[in-house]
Amino acid sequence: MKQAKIRLFVEQPLGAGQTVLLDRDQANYLFNVMRLSVGDLVALFNGRDGEFVGEVAEAGKRKGALVCREQTKPLQLPPDLWLCFAPIKKARTDFIVEKATEMGAAVIQPMQTEFTNSERIRRDRLQAHAVEAAEQCGGTYVPEVRDLTRLDRLLADWPEDRQIMFCDEALVGATETLGQAGGEKWAIFIGPEGGFSEPERAKLREIGHAVSLGPRILRADTAAVAALTVWQQHLGDWG
Amino acid sequence: MKQAKIRLFVEQPLGAGQTVLLDRDQANYLFNVMRLSVGDLVALFNGRDGEFVGEVAEAGKRKGALVCREQTKPLQLPPDLWLCFAPIKKARTDFIVEKATEMGAAVIQPMQTEFTNSERIRRDRLQAHAVEAAEQCGGTYVPEVRDLTRLDRLLADWPEDRQIMFCDEALVGATETLGQAGGEKWAIFIGPEGGFSEPERAKLREIGHAVSLGPRILRADTAAVAALTVWQQHLGDWG
């Protein structure tokens, strides 16, 4: 039997026998770029119904259709974890979104801190990156990329039942307390190059759990992956 | 007092009063690109003597000299950890070298596995990346990038006293045993896209400690940072 080598995120509901109509970009990708034709298989997921094998039923230049066969993976939701980070240079911001998806964040929240240079992001572009990363990493879920929000506003509206882990460059050790913190809802805060400002740090220390990422200064994108690893090991689904 | 904002790796010995002559590239970087002039300060490190403040004594277009003042950081060696990885696409290989430097590996060993596509690397270019990452992350040490070696040859000559941690996609959990393994000398093995082959995996299972990096499939560059985090937390200098 042929195997589906391509994974495709779609918006439509999935289920055995369900027809999935492709839009122009998807048809172009599958039939022009990847050269699939009728009868070929594609792995489909929509973030809600798990993964299904879809068989190409119609392969046009600008449109096409797949028919779902059996489910190949159940839906696997990531832990209820937000990654809040300050956007940096474009390539590294893209990278953070990709890594957050692979590492199993549920929500990606760009935030503007005092020392954030970037004042705008292209939310739709970052969301597309998250989709692509989910297609690549075999996940059945795509994290939601939210609009850029100021850190002070984010904290002013902060949900009481969501705990915060943040990375404090001034700290050594102290990750031990994390495992005892427990709780289901979490957010990781990663500062910009240059770190959080003193008032921001004071606020985060007051309401969050500080952890150390070692004696060297990490770039924001490295810190994101390292912090996600620490969290997943202590509190997440790597157990 | 002015502060050194630029960090520069040099080959020469460092010590109070020592003169450091700059080569053409270094002079170009400091005086043309960064616009420093006589009297300005630069943080210097060479991987052996810690970090010193250097004052520009001569600023030419193609040459220059700095005079070392006081030491600002002692030498901080990373743990005796090798990162052995299979090179992937250029940008992601560069990234792995950058991240290994920030995360505190002592040796970076590119290796050719059965499923490695890349058959050549530019060792000197990767070494330059490690230098740049060390300049950025505030470290006083630059990991040594070694020549590309076949995995089977690497394992045939493997030093008896160096333990191996490798990331096994087939595994869930099982990181607990790592902390009990102890030992000073370690290597982390990261497979290529597509993972290790069955015989490679069998060999690594026989001689190494397998750890899990969670239920999602990570790209090799993500896996490198995550594995370095796991190791540093359990056995390294993040304690």
* Average pLDDT of span B85-95: 89
Of A9-18, A198-207, B47-56, B101-110, the range with the lowest mean pLDDT is A198-207
Q: What is the mean pLDDT of chain A?
A: 91
Is residue A221 pLDDT above 80, yes or no? yes
Distance (Å, whole) CA A12 – CA A187 = 29
Distance (Å, whole) CA B109 – CA B106 = 10
Q: What are the structural domain ranges in chain A?
A: 6-73, 81-235
Q: What is the pLDDT of residues A158-182, one digit of tens each?
A: 999 999 999 877 665 555 567 677 7
Nearest CB to B212; choose among A104, A222, A238:
A238
CB contact at 8 A, B97 and B137: no
Nearest CB to B102; choose among A102, A218, A232:
A218
Of B78, B83, B48, B51, nearest in space to B66 by CA: B51
Tell me how many degrees the CA angle A216-A219-A222 measures, rounded to the nearest 5. 95
**Residue A52 DSSP SS3:** strand
Distance from CA of A238 to the nearest CA of B (A): 4
Sheet containing A6-9: order of strands = A6-9, A41-45, A51-59, A64-73, A19-22
Q: Do B229 and A232 touch (CB under 8 A)?
A: no
pLDDT score of B133: 95
Taking CA–CA distances from A236, the nearest residue in chain B reads B214
What whole-number percentage of chain B has pLDDT above 90? Answer: 72
Interface test with A, best of B222, B230, B231, B234 (most A CBs within 10 A): B222
Taking CA–CA distances from A232, the nearest residue in chain B reads B214
In this prediction the ipTM stands at 0.89
Q: Do A215 and B225 touch (CB under 8 A)?
A: no
CATH topology of domain A6-73: Ribosomal Protein L25; Chain P (2.40.240)
Q: Do B214 and A104 touch (CB under 8 A)?
A: yes
Distance (Å, whole) CA A82 – CA A212 = 19
User: Which residues in chain B are closer than 8 Å to A216, comparing Cβ atoms?
Assistant: 102-104, 137-139
Distance (Å, whole) CA A198 – CA A204 = 10
pLDDT score of B176: 56
Is residue A150 pLDDT above 70, yes or no? yes
Among the four given CATH numbers 2.40.240.20, 1.25.40.10, 1.10.10.10, 2.60.40.1120, the one describing domain B7-73:
2.40.240.20
Class level of CATH domain B81-235 = alpha beta
Q: Retrieve residue A45's tokens.
A: 């997921």
Q: How confident is the model at residue A48 (pLDDT cuts 50, 70, 90)?
A: very high
User: Which residues in chain B are closer than 8 Å to A213, comparing Cβ atoms?
Assistant: 229, 238
**Residue A138 DSSP SS3:** coil
CB contact at 8 A, B137 and B102: yes
Is residue B1 pLDDT above 80, yes or no? no
pLDDT score of A173: 53
pLDDT score of B175: 58
Give burial (CB, 10 Å; 0-12/13-18/19+) of A97.
Answer: buried
Q: Do A102 and B216 touch (CB under 8 A)?
A: yes
What secondary structure letter does DSSP report for B17? T
Q: Which residues contact A209 (CB under 8 A, 6 or more apart)?
A: A163, A164, A165, A166, A177, A178, A181
Is residue A10 pLDDT above 90, yes or no? yes
State residue A42 phi and psi, 5-degree precision. -135, 140
User: Which residues in chain A are closer than 8 Å to B95, comparing Cβ atoms?
Assistant: 95
**Long-range CB contact pairs, B137-140, < 8 A, 24+:** B137/A216, B137/A217, B137/A218, B137/A219, B137/B101, B137/B102, B138/A216, B138/A217, B138/B7, B139/A216, B139/B45, B139/B76, B139/B78, B139/B101, B139/B102, B139/B104, B140/B45, B140/B47, B140/B50, B140/B51, B140/B73, B140/B74, B140/B75, B140/B76
Taking CA–CA distances from A137, the nearest residue in chain B reads B217
What secondary structure letter does DSSP report for A145? E
Distance (Å, whole) CA B212 – CA B218 = 11
pLDDT score of A236: 87
Distance (Å, whole) CA A8 – CA A135 = 6
Is residue A121 pLDDT above 60, yes or no? yes
Q: What is the pLDDT of residues A86-105, one digit of tens each?
A: 998 888 899 999 999 999 99
CA of B143: how far to CAs of A23, A208, A220, B164, in Å? Answer: 48, 34, 21, 18
